[in-house]
Structures are given as structure tokens and as C-alpha cells.
Amino acid sequence: MTEKKIRIKVPKENKVRAELQKEIGSVCPFCDNEEVGHFEIHHIDENPSNNDTGNLLLLCSTCHSKITKGDISQLETLKKKIELMKSPIVSKSAGQKVVNFNSKIKNAIVGDYNNVSINQAKPAKPKYPQGCVGFETTKANYIGHLVKRFNEYKEYEVGKGNVKYAVFSAHLKKQFKLAPTRTLYNLPIERFGELVDYIHLRINSTKLAKIKGHGHKNYSTFDEYSKEYG
């Protein structure tokens, strides 16, 4: 934990501190330390510029360093904060209190006066479902390889830097009747061969391919490609 963070002084620190001290009943929420005068303000989401009181917890320096070292987890700290916020003795203000996080916490506990809920990040779904070209990595990469090759050949005609890479992909999507919100990799796997044949044809029809002539190999076949990269 040698990483330096920009620490912005808590605005109205004395007032905030008094509020936080009341919240914990002047006792460290993790141990029984009562030397509240020496307590420190901890930023639960570890974002030192998030000075929302819902993100702050007053505690003794020993427990503070335990958090910093990871001996007390962020989840435990959060739970403690919510517990304290829920306590009718300390939470005298009317209405709801919410812990606000503006950092990139994936698993967060959000609490208000009555409820505590755990928002758990969903496991990442594979981007393309089974049955799509995108689901099969080698096939997807081969399509990417061919599209790139086409654009390289096209560059010869229009000049370096003038190829609009999105144009050919958009054309292919239209040709294969894919919805605008989809990508080429959403194409059903059964149509992989058809797509490959079409791109081959388009590469072979470029000016450069014609100049190179019939005998010239403009791209690897899928078999060759998958032997090398599959």
C-alpha cells in the first residue's frame, strides 16, 4: 500500500467528524477503543475525494491500518457502516441514508434506513452466444483476418490512410442481413462458409488482386489459418 492517493480534506471536517463520532457512539466500531480524539476518518470506497458521509467511517488508527492492510475487508467495513446507519440510536436524521459509491466497486452493499441489499456483479457473459461465429474464436479470428486483408488490398486503390475500415464491415452486415445493433460475429455459424466465400470473392476482385494475377495467393484458407493460429 505505498500507492499515493490524492487526499482532499474533508469539507467542514469538524462538523462531519462530530456526526461520525455520534454515529459510532464515540467507540471504535471494530474494537473497544474509546480514545475518540485520536480517531481517523476512513473512506470506505477508498476514494479519498468521495467525502459523502455515507462513505466515511470514524475509527481508531489501529483498526484503520488493519483496513489498509486488508486484515479488515472492505465488505466488513461496509457492513459495519450500514449497521451503524441503521441503528435508531445514532441515526436521528429523518429520511433515508444511502451509501454512495462513485468508484468502481463491482460488489457493493447499499443500505438505507430500513433495508440493506447486496448488489452483486453478474459474472461476465460470453460476448457472443453459442451458435454465432463470434463464439468460435478461431473462426471469428479468421473472419477478422480476411476483413483486414480486404482493407489492406483496398488501400492500394484508395491510398494509405484513406480506407474506412468500418465501411466493409457495414457492407458485410448488410449483405448478410444482420441488424444494425449486431456485429458480423453474430452471424449464425452455419453461414460461416458462405461469409468466407463472399470475402474471398471480394478480395479477389480488388485491383491489387487482379494485378497480382491468378496464381497469387491473396489469403490463407481457413484450414491453413487454423493450423497456424487455431
Q: How far is the CB of 180 from Zn ion (least distance, A)?
A: 57
Query: 195, 193, 198: which is closest to 183 by C-alpha?
Result: 195
Among 26, 33, 175, 218, binds Zn ion (CB under 5 A): 33
Q: Is 156 exposed, middle or buried (0-12, 13-18, 19+ CB in 10 A)?
A: middle
- Beta carbons of 117 and 110 less than 8 angstroms apart: yes
Shortest distance, CB of residue 30 to Zn ion, whole angstroms? 4
**Which among 181, 179, 153 has a CA at the least distance from the CA of 165?**
153
Give the 3-state secondary structure of residue 32.
Answer: coil
Stretch that binds Zn ion, among 12-20, 28-36, 131-139, 164-172 (CB under 5 A): 28-36
Closest CA to 150 of 196, 190, 214, 215: 196
Work out how close the CB of 77 gets to Zn ion at its nearest, in angstroms, rounded to a whole number.
Answer: 12
Query: Going along 3-159, which residue ranges are E strands?
Result: 40-43, 56-59, 108-111, 116-119
CB atoms inside a 10 Å sphere around CB 165: 12
Check residue 172 for interaction with Zn ion (CB under 5 A). no
- To the nearest whole angstrom, how small is the minimum distance from the Cβ of residue 179 to Zn ion? 57
Gap between the Cα atoms of 63 and 41, Å rounded: 11
- Segment lying near Zn ion (by CB under 5 A), choices 3-11, 22-30, 71-79, 136-144: 22-30
Count the residues of the shown chain that bind Zn ion, applying the rule CB under 5 A: 6
Q: Measured from the CB atom, is 59 or 140 closer to Zn ion?
A: 59
Closest CB 65 distance from Zn ion, rounded Å: 10
Contact pick of 30, 128, 150, 168 for Zn ion (by CB under 5 A): 30
**In this complex, which beta carbon is closest to Zn ion, that of residue 42 or of residue 149?**
42
Contact partners, residue 107, CB within 8 Å, separation at least 6: 75, 118, 119, 120, 121
Least Å distance, CB 230 to Zn ion, is 57
Q: Is 20 in the site for Zn ion (CB under 5 A)?
A: no
Binding mask 57-76 for Zn ion (x = CB under 5 A): ---x--x-------------
**Residue 5 CB, nearest approach to Zn ion (Å):** 22
31 binds Zn ion (CB under 5 A): yes
What separation, in Å, do the N-terminal and C-terminal C-alpha atoms of the chain show?
41
Judged by CB under 5 A, which of 10, 20, 24, 28 binds Zn ion? Answer: 28
Pairing type for strands 108-111 and 116-119 reads antiparallel
> Site residues (CB under 5 A) for Zn ion?
28, 30-31, 33, 60, 63
